[in-house]
Structure 1
Amino acid sequence: MTVRTRVLLISDTHGEAFNIRNEHKVDVVIHCGDLTDQSKLYEYHSTLKLLKELNAPLTLVIAGNHDFTLDTPAFERKVLEATDSLDPELVRKEYGDIGAARRLFDDTPGVTFLDEGTHKFNLHNGAYLSVYASPFTPSQGGGAFQYRPNTGHRFTIEQDTDIVITHGPPRGIMDRTCEGRAGCPNLFAAIARARPRLHCFGHIHEEWGARRIAWRSPTAETPSHFTSIDNEASTTIDTLRNIKQMTTDSPEKRVDKLNRMEQHRRQGYCAASCRYEDRGAYTLFVNAAMEGVTEEFPMHPPWIVDIDLPLSSQGPGTHVELRIP
């Protein structure tokens, strides 16, 4: 027996207003990181206020590479590496002490900040939800929760995980930048082995969109987007390229894109679904980055996904089990 559960997905709001209409009733809100732009306390306050206004029974949040005050080593490193001598009182006023940003989430009822690992919930609608979360992304820079691409990172995603929440994309799926692919191959391999129902992320703003990926069987010994995806059975639900005007577009294509964007604006979100019978055969990937990269699209629509979840054996609630590998 399953329970249809509605999940709102957003990411990369960077402390800005995301103007999601409250009439969109959902069971769970998920924010995939980059809650702020400069990791200042006022940005966290603003984002938490907006998340609370969504009025969902459960809101799950992870950090992104911009949220460095949530990453103690990164916070300490930035203070030490500052070129000018910093006034400790000014730092405290703008960014807080070590741990201050995290305490804001701990002190906000209804909002659950997820550390890396597996988390399990009994939802208010009677569904059981298993989530794996990780804020880590590959980078040569000095942001929060980052690792060098040549060293990799271990993503220990359990079998039967319903939703994977990461800040960055897996290699090969909605991860293209002007410099090439930016996704993590270790993350892709972990996803391909676990085959969750839904993987949501952000980070690469220009790759906003959703794809329903069909998996090849058996899983390759070293999974990659070349060896593990059945592209003929996979479908693209929507991408920024489907709504962004291009100089090569025909007049008919331009009209189609304008109509599609107007539909998104009128509806207030983009829709997708995860059917229970697809478990293990398909994964829905959603890049939910909201902040746009052009003046034409300053803010992308959020995603609402209907997902069939198993019935909880313990009744409704928001009990959490946390296992960190």
Structure 2
Amino acid sequence: MLNFSKPKPPPQNFRDTRAEEPMELPKMDMELFPPNIYFAPTAPADKPAPNWLRMVCISDTHNTTYANNYPIPEADILVHAGDFTKMGTIAQIDQFIDWLKSLTHIPIKIVVAGNHDVILDKEFYEQHWRRFHTTKEDHQAALNKLKSAGHGIIYLNNELYTVDGANLLYEKYQKQKKQSSMNKISEHVDPTGADATDIDDSVVVDPREGWVEGYRIWASPWQPEFWEWAFNEVRGRLKDIWKHIPEDTDILMTHGPPKYHGDTVPHSKERHVGCEELLERLKFVRPLYHVFGHIHEGYGFSEIEWDGGSHSTVCINASTCTERYHPLNPPIIVDLPPK
């Protein structure tokens, strides 16, 4: 039995009231940021070098993000830590996929589900669909939409995906080079019909330089029991899920936070609602980054130091929506060196 108060239900109409709540960056000392981590409005225009990967972290968008109200910066990878729908209907999944497809400036989009994405938890949905939907929908159809969406969309459920940084950057570079060449030709067309042979192909550092292997990303939608929503498990039993996190994981994605990191619910009897078993597993895995959401009030980041500070895990609560379900928290950007 839970010993913290029941969370307020999300507003069913998700009324757009952004004007009532202006966007403000969290009150964090920018000088204390870990290296190469930024809130989107403060990120430098360029990565430290062409062969670095830029990763954009978001979560808990709840079908509230659109190109004109929530811009996503240029990046190589986008990771979304769940709750991309309001109440997990197929129509809402379609809307989310269409939004991801519109992000043509990001080649890879890695997605995990959350407790609101109820139709994706097959066993849970079979038992509880009436609480969320007036008509039962097809779990497999919803899953297939995400699995076959294309456009660089990768859906993970307790699965590993390795980002081939060298290949990803080189393909992106080749496309940009081709587009640049086409633009130059267009700008230098001789009205007499002569070829534009004076175009200068500038030499650019090969973005594959320095790469040996890719970044290993393991993602799971599960979190401690939270008033009978999807992908919930009783506290104490989650270690049976977390034991499958590979020990060589570089970037861990879970919908919910570990205990004491981005998990504060100020008005709850139990102030920290993160998963203690997940924190215990982190002690063995020690990923470079742990990206999650779920607790909107916990937006921001913290560090867990290992071995006296010789290594650390940066915990990133990337919740896009505020407690009132307004998409006002900026994306969090991470620049990743060649690996």
TM-score range with shorter-chain normalisation?
0.5 to 0.7
Distance 1:157 1:150, change over 3 A: closer
Cα deviation code 1:143-190 (max 9, x no counterpart): 111101143333122233110000000011111112211111111111
SS at match of 2:337: strand
Q: TM-score, normalised by structure 2?
A: 0.65
**Is the aligned partner of 1:293 residue 2:323?**
yes
TM-align CA RMSD? 2.3
**Structure 1 residues without counterparts, runs of 5 or longer:** 218-232, 234-279, 311-325
Distance 1:134 1:298, change over 3 A: closer
> Partner of 1:137 in structure 2?
223
Higher strand proportion, which one?
A: 1
Measured in 1, the distance between the counterparts of 2:77 and 2:88 equals 24
> Partner of 1:113 in structure 2?
155
Residue type of the partner of 1:301?
P
Distance 1:130 1:298, change over 3 A: closer
> Partner of 1:99 in structure 2?
140
Residue type of the partner of 1:121?
V
Equivalences for 1:42-57 in 2 at 5 Å? 42-55=91-104, 56-57=106-107
Q: Are the aligned partners of 2:220 and 2:254 in contact in 1 as well (CA < 8 Å)?
A: yes
Report the alpha carbon displacement of residue 298 of structure 1 after superposing the two structures with TM. 5.0
> Partner of 2:186 in structure 1?
none
Measured in 2, the distance between the counterparts of 1:168 and 1:131 equals 16
> Partner of 2:126 in structure 1?
76
Task: Work out which of the residue numbers 56, 78, 89 in structure 2 matches 1:29.
Answer: 78
SS at match of 2:146: helix
Q: Are the aligned partners of 2:65 and 2:327 in contact in 1 as well (CA < 8 Å)?
A: no
Residue type of the partner of 2:235?
P
Q: TM-score, normalised by structure 1?
A: 0.67
> Partner of 2:263 in structure 1?
175
Cα deviation code 1:228-269 (max 9, x no counterpart): xxxxx6xxxxxxxxxxxxxxxxxxxxxxxxxxxxxxxxxxxx
Report the alpha carbon displacement of residue 98 of structure 1 after superposing the two structures with TM. 2.5
Cα deviation code 1:92-122 (max 9, x no counterpart): 5xxx313111111122111010020322232
Measured in 2, the distance between the counterparts of 1:291 and 1:147 equals 24
Measured in 2, the distance between the counterparts of 1:200 and 1:46 equals 23
> Partner of 2:296 in structure 1?
205
> Partner of 1:248 in structure 2?
none
Measured in 1, the distance between the counterparts of 2:80 and 2:131 equals 33
> Partner of 2:284 in structure 1?
193
**Is the aligned partner of 1:308 residue 2:331?**
no
Cα deviation code 1:74-109 (max 9, x no counterpart): 110113xx489x9xxx625xxx31311111112211
> Partner of 2:251 in structure 1?
163
Q: Are the aligned partners of 2:70 and 2:327 in contact in 1 as well (CA < 8 Å)?
A: no
The list of structure 1 runs, each at least 4 consecutive aligned residues, that deviate by more than 3 angstroms after superposition, is none
SS at match of 1:149: coil
Q: Are the aligned partners of 1:175 and 1:182 in contact in 2 as well (CA < 8 Å)?
A: yes
Using the aligned pairs only, state the percent identity: 30
> Partner of 1:283 in structure 2?
313
> Partner of 1:8 in structure 2?
56
**Is the aligned partner of 1:66 residue 2:95?**
no
Of 145-154 and 40-49, deviating more is 145-154
Distance 1:83 1:199, change over 3 A: closer
